[in-house]
Structure 1
Amino acid sequence: MDYETITPEEFGASLRGLGLNLLVRDVRVEAAFLVSVFGMAAHRLSADFAIMVYGDQVMQLHADHTYAANPILGLVPESPPRGAGASLHLFDSDPDTVAARAEGAGGMILQPPTNKPHGLRECCILCPNGYAWVASRPLTEIERKAK
């Protein structure tokens, strides 16, 4: 699928399974953060919308104003964190690499890279829009034995 030329109707009709759409104050700022920190690709980037691709996963960013007629917008808090209670996991991102990139890209490290008992090395980063992004990868054999 060519995300740069697909029509909104074709794109919408192509979506399957679980979808992720984030409302953000500034689509370009959030897209730049996700590209810089997590290596995502941004498509159809505008002030209103972006298609973000992480591996083979697709998500969408919409500017707040595009939801003016949608009741969800009334639930979005004026100040961060917007996504309180939700954590967005990116399982194929190295937490150490991501943490090193995050602060320079406007993120705040909520939890530095840490080996977890559930077999993952993770870090949690709050993006400028207040969403908690969790970068994680499986623990190495050495890390598992070091517990």
Structure 2
Amino acid sequence: MKESDTFAWIRSQPPSHLVFNRTVELRDSWGKRIAHEKTKGESLGGGRVYGQSLQGLTINLISENLERALIFQQVVLGADIVYHDNDFAAVRGYGAQWMIHADHTYDNHPLNTTLAQLAHRGGAVELRLHGCDPDMAQAHAIAQKFTVLQGAADKPHGLREAYLLDSDGYLWVPDVPVKHQP
């Protein structure tokens, strides 16, 4: 299946299965509603409102191909795409939230020259997604032709995990607790 066909399939799924193009509410960490908008190119109460709602540590990934990044997030990792447009996506899953910006949004950003020099984006950073089934994520990664660096395996530290690269080179490590330790 070609990438464009895969994304068309994702967009055709009912909202109960996928979350593209639906009305969403964005709440801060205390549950206060900060935005209520329809997705598909409208802002989540404006970038200022969304930006000011963020607290603690957040992760912002920069992607050469936002549509392909969304396929990885939703199909491989099983995360919810809370909002997306051509520039930006807000993603939530497993008790965490993160964001993805398209490369072109960094045209006037200090990282712009650095991005052009990188072979891949992830470097030595592991993005661990606790509670995401590594076997299922691995199967979806293979089906969507993403790279599996290391297949799902039980580790001595009590987690079953897989090492998966997305299309921008970010290393994702979905993991769940090992059910039975020897």
- Give the alignment's TM-score, normalised by structure 1: 0.90
1:1-147 residue pairs with structure 2 within 5 A? 2-3=25-26, 5=37, 6-7=44-45, 8-77=47-116, 80-141=119-180, 144-145=181-182
Cα deviation digits, residues 105-132 of structure 1 (max 9, x gap): 2311000011111111110001111111
Gaps of 5+ in 1: none
CA RMSD between the two structures = 1.6
Q: 2:102 & 2:120 partners in 1: Cα distance?
A: 16
Q: 1:29 & 1:78 partners in 2: Cα distance?
A: 21
Runs of 4+ with >4 A deviation: 77-80
- Using the aligned pairs only, state the percent identity: 31
The DSSP-based 3-state class of the residue aligned with 2:111 is helix
Equivalences, count: 143
Q: In the alignment, is the contact (CA less than 8 A) between 1:80 and 1:129 conserved in 2? A: no
- Give the alignment's TM-score, normalised by structure 2: 0.73
Q: 1:72 & 1:129 partners in 2: Cα distance?
A: 15
Q: 2:118 & 2:147 partners in 1: Cα distance?
A: 15
Q: 1:78 & 1:24 partners in 2: Cα distance?
A: 14
Q: 1:45 & 1:15 partners in 2: Cα distance?
A: 17
